[in-house]
């Protein structure tokens, strides 16, 4: 078989890339180890930067996002029994973010690709990438029906997430990895109750961080900092709501409770593998980098990568121009490192480190007071949160 680009992984990165390439007249095949239902049900991120919305518009899949996405002009930072608003519109010249679930982005991207008659191979096994240092890299997989297939490509996009097979296909001697983990995790719930807030609340509390987010005006998404090795079985719905009530408590404000629809625990790490290219293999999204979710950057970085990659691959394959492909990794890593720093900063400012003494808490509170009282400091948070310069998808 033949495809100009072989895309490994049908997450937001791989799916968006397939659309951005199609717009440029480049055909691709997408292979995915999980089922369509699984890809469409995974509860993950929820905040899109304006640049990410632009990427999805350029990919031609923004009709529902434009209709149903919730525009947010700020966030709240809560600490020491006070809640402060960070006004993005005021601080960044009118810029905002859009709350629209990653699950919905993925559903829209899958539907648009299938509607266009371009298949996605779900439920594949034994994905392999070979001949990466040639101009005809090869993608091999076993289809859902059990047939072994080989696709000869011009380039392969490794969009297969942190646990995928593409990053490990790069010779270890050519990779530099930077990594740190955090001594806590997030317990996230999806709840059938209207949000108790108009914008997200990031809450510092001696008992641990909490976040009030949302999916729609009917469905709330909430997170609690828990220990790294937490057993989800130890968290009944009642215990979760009690802990959320304790951390978010504020006189005159009420946290509404409702049935818990989904419950899961996510570990937190920062990870960057560089370069994001080896020969004709290009990594994008979580396959190359992971950030802790506190800055809401994971999904946005994945979409930013593929906006750059689509242009680079079009130049390479259509016009025989190597310069954008050569610049791909450096261009993306600039943004990745900025988001990595911002996510680390938000995470360490807002979470209680197990075993840390009162010194850490005082430093965090000082930073939070500064961020909510100095226009310069608030602007730094706002600029990072709403995202970085346009992507030209």
Among positions 141-160, residues that touch ligand RFL (CB under 6 A) are 159-160
- Phi and psi of 49, rounded to 5°? -70, 160
Out of 204, 212, 297, 351, the active site residue is 297
Our answer to whether residue 388 is catalytic in this structure is: no
Our answer to whether residue 202 is catalytic in this structure is: yes
Among positions 208-247, residues that touch ligand PHB (CB under 6 A) are 213, 221
Say how far apart CA 49 and CA 389 lie, in whole Å.
11
46: contact with ligand PHB by CB under 6 A: yes
Say how far apart CA 58 and CA 47 lie, in whole Å.
18
Stretch that binds ligand PHB, among 42-50, 108-116, 160-168, 308-316 (CB under 6 A): 42-50
Question: CA-based angle 230:240:255, to the nearest 5?
Answer: 145
181: contact with ligand RFL by CB under 6 A: no
Q: How far is the CB of 39 from ligand RFL (least distance, A)?
A: 5
Q: How far is the CB of 47 from ligand PHB (least distance, A)?
A: 5
Q: Is 263 left (phi over 0), alpha (psi -120 to 50) or beta?
A: beta
Out of 12, 195, 292, 293, the active site residue is 293
Say how far apart CA 58 and CA 19 lie, in whole Å.
9
Our answer to whether residue 393 is catalytic in this structure is: no
Question: CA-based angle 31:298:317, to the nearest 5?
Answer: 45
Say how far apart CA 194 and CA 213 lie, in whole Å.
11
266: contact with ligand RFL by CB under 6 A: yes
Residue number, 216 or 360, with CB nearest to ligand RFL: 216
Our answer to whether residue 263 is catalytic in this structure is: no
Count of residues touching ligand RFL (by CB under 6 A): 31
Q: Is 230 left (phi over 0), alpha (psi -120 to 50) or beta?
A: beta
Our answer to whether residue 195 is catalytic in this structure is: no
- The helix/strand/coil state of 369 is helix
Specify which residues 158 forms β-bridges with: 8, 283
Q: Print the binding letters for residues 272-301 with ligand PHB: x by CB under 6 A, - otherwise.
A: ---------------------xx-x-----
59: contact with ligand RFL by CB under 6 A: no
Count of residues touching ligand PHB (by CB under 6 A): 9
Instruction: Return all residues near 159 (Cβ < 8 A) that are at least 6 apart.
Output: 7, 8, 9, 11, 13, 14, 17, 166, 283, 284, 285, 287, 302, 306
> Catalytic residue numbers?
72, 202, 293, 297, 385
Interface contacts to ligand PHB, rule CB under 6 A: 45-47, 200, 213, 221, 293-294, 296
Interface contacts to ligand RFL, rule CB under 6 A: 8-14, 31-34, 39, 44-45, 102, 127, 159-162, 164-165, 266, 285-286, 293, 296-299, 302
């Amino acid at each position: 078989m033949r495809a100009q680009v072989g895309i490994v992984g049908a997450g937001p990165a791989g799916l968006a890339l397939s659309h951005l390439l199609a717009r440029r007249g480049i055909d691709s095949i997408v292979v995915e180890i999980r089922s369509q239902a699984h890809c469409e049900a995974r509860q993950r991120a929820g905040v899109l930067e304006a640049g990410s919305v632009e990427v999805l518009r350029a990919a031609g899949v923004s009709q529902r996002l434009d209709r149903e996405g919730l525009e947010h002009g700020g966030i709240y930072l809560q600490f020491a029994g006070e809640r402060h608003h960070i006004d993005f519109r005021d601080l960044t010249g009118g810029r905002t973010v859009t709350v629209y679930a990653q699950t919905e982005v993925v559903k829209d991207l899958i539907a648009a690709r299938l509607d266009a008659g371009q298949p996605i191979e779900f439920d594949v096994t034994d994905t392999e990438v070979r001949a990466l240092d040639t101009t005809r890299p090869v993608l091999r997989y076993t289809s859902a029906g059990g047939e072994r297939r080989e696709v000869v490509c011009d380039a392969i996009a490794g969009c297969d997430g942190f646990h995928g097979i593409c990053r490990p296909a790069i010779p270890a001697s050519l990779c530099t990895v930077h990594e740190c983990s955090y001594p806590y995790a997030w317990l996230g719930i999806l709840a059938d109750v209207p949000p108790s807030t108009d914008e997200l609340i990031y809450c510092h509390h001696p008992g641990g961080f909490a976040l009030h987010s949302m999916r729609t005006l009917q469905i709330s998404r909430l997170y609690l900092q828990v220990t790294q090795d937490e057993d989800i079985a130890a968290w009944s719905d009642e215990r979760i709501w009690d802990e959320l009530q304790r951390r978010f408590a504020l006189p005159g404000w009420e946290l509404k409770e409702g049935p818990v629809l989904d419950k899961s625990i996510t570990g937190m790490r920062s990870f960057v593998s560089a370069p994001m290219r080896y020969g004709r293999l290009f990594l994008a999204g979580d396959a190359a980098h992971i950030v802790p979710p506190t800055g809401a950057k994971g999904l946005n970085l994945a979409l930013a990568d593929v906006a750059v990659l689509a242009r680079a691959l079009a130049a390479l394959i259509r016009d025989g121009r190597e310069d954008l492909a050569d610049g791909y990794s450096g261009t993306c890593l600039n943004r990745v490192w900025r988001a990595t720093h911002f996510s680390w900063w938000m995470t360490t400012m807002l979470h209680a480190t197990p075993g840390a003494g009162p010194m850490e808490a005082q430093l965090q509170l000082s930073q939070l007071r500064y961020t909510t009282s100095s226009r310069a400091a608030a602007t730094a948070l706002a600029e990072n949160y709403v995202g970085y310069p346009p992507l030209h998808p």
